[in-house]
Structure 1
């Protein structure tokens, strides 16, 4: 049985149009991206097999080219198509932050950061550089460490902030473990950087920590900013 044999309410494309993208499972969303299945497998069945193979949608989307293209039903064309989709998504969120107050849209900031550092296998520290209205000027990854710790040098944070004439910053890093709960070391680092930036009249608005499966935490929302 192919997808065309399914009831229209169960077909991924028709379901999306009727109920919205949020109503679809990971396999159904991936099936729309794949468009067609392979011999003996519908697009949804193939999508589920791929999710089982990679372990999660997140891992599949961030797979290296060699691993991605070797999987059944994928290849160079799909890899190129996926990279274009991911880049459009990143630019979409970046554009929103350039036009609006980043502090009024923490979900948008988190989704933007997911594309920047959420997929990294090692702990990566970055900074959003903002103007007086908290619009995004520039984003920069600054440090990459081991799985558990990144060495962050205040002078480099100050240097990039001055280079872009930032009025404020939002700090960010990922937890490869998947748990976005801030550690005591995260809180201490935030205080250290905030103090250094304050000396040159640059405000530290927040420190976001990215986990897995779309999870994130905000030190500002948790009341842990200095």
Structure 2
């Protein structure tokens, strides 16, 4: 018992930055698990603010750009949340065919797209608008409704639907 306490003490005192980074990552992982349990099966569209909070928390800890989908039933209950693409600090390649395949695999009737901007600026780019249109067209072929595309940057989340970009 004393030996384990000593190791923990050494880690905190001798390598505090490594300990803090490890600790923060564990806290973020636990927060994501809590959010997943809390929102699983929930009607996230009943409260748009809830969808924003859920998605912002899910993407909060990524230092690279990630693109994810929230797959939902006809009643807009969450089936699954999946990160489909990972990129770099400045961009991420997105393939509408993959989004469509995952929607079918999840038997989704509706989809919300979300991606982060590691720069902290949540403004949708022209490329964001373009890929949203391509994904919407692919999903329409399978009668899957694209509800929204959120861009997360820092503490802000911008809805492309609210901006009239979908």
Q: Same fold (TM over 0.5)?
A: yes
**Does structure 2 retain, via aligned residues, the 8 Å contact 1:103–1:205?**
no
Paired residue secondary structure (2:49): helix
* C-alpha separation in 2, matches of 1:167 and 1:182: 25
Paired residue secondary structure (2:100): helix
2:65 to 119, 123, 129: 123
Corresponding residue of 2:6: none
* C-alpha separation in 2, matches of 1:186 and 1:168: 19
Q: TM-score, normalised by structure 2?
A: 0.81
Residues 34-45 of structure 1 mapped to structure 2, 5 A cutoff: none
Corresponding residue of 1:223: 164
Corresponding residue of 1:108: 50
Corresponding residue of 2:124: 182
Corresponding residue of 1:145: 87
Q: TM-score, normalised by structure 1?
A: 0.61
CA-based RMSD of the aligned residues comes to 2.7
Measured after TM superposition, the shift of residue 190 of structure 1 is: 0.5
Unaligned 5+ residue runs, structure 2? Answer: 1-10
Aligned residues: 154
Higher strand share: 2
Paired residue secondary structure (2:124): coil
* C-alpha separation in 1, matches of 2:132 and 2:125: 11
Q: Say which structure, 1 or 2, has more relative contact order (CA 8 Å, 6+ apart).
A: 2
Which protein shows a greater Rg?
1
Paired residue secondary structure (1:99): coil
